[in-house]
Amino acid sequence: MADGPTTRLTCQDVIGLLVDYLEATLTEETVSAFERHLEICPPCVAYLRTYRKTRELASAAARAEMPDEVKARLRELLLEQLARKGGGRQRGRSREERTS
């Protein structure tokens, strides 16, 4: 794909540039050519919109929060490790221990 003021992009070019377009890393000339293509190509407009929405939905779907009980089990195991490693419990106390 030649990059210049009269560059004409195909649908294949536009879809191939989506990551860079959404990250705003394209040159001004390529952005102009990209947006000129969108003006005349409703399927690519639909693709861009649904691609952007997919990113948003996938981000939410793949996000998992750590359950409190997992956190508590982890802390207990690590305290044991620290104690085994050299008396970690004696050298410092946690915030909860200090305030209890």
Partner 1 sequence: MNPTDADVAERLQDVELIDRLRAGEVAALDSLMARYSSRVYRLARGITRSDADAEEVVQDVFFTLVRKHDTFEGRAAVGSWIYRITTNTALNKRRGKRFEAEIGLEELLPAFKADGHRAGDPSFLLADWSQSPEQDLLSTESRRLLSETIDALPDHYRAVLVLRDVEGLSNEEVAEVLGETIASVKSKLHRARMALRERLTRHFGPNC
The only residue of 2, 62, 99, 100 in contact with partner 1, by rule CB under 8 A? 62
Q: Quick check: 59 binds partner 1 (CB under 8 A)?
A: yes
Supply the minimum distance, in Å, between the C-beta of residue 17 and partner 1. 10
Query: Which amino acid is residue 33, in one-letter code?
Result: A
Supply the minimum distance, in Å, between the C-beta of residue 33 and partner 1. 13
Q: Quick check: 39 binds partner 1 (CB under 8 A)?
A: no
* Alpha helical stretches, state H, the chain: 11-16, 18-22, 28-40, 42-61, 68-86, 88-91, 95-99
Supply the minimum distance, in Å, between the C-beta of residue 27 and partner 1. 16
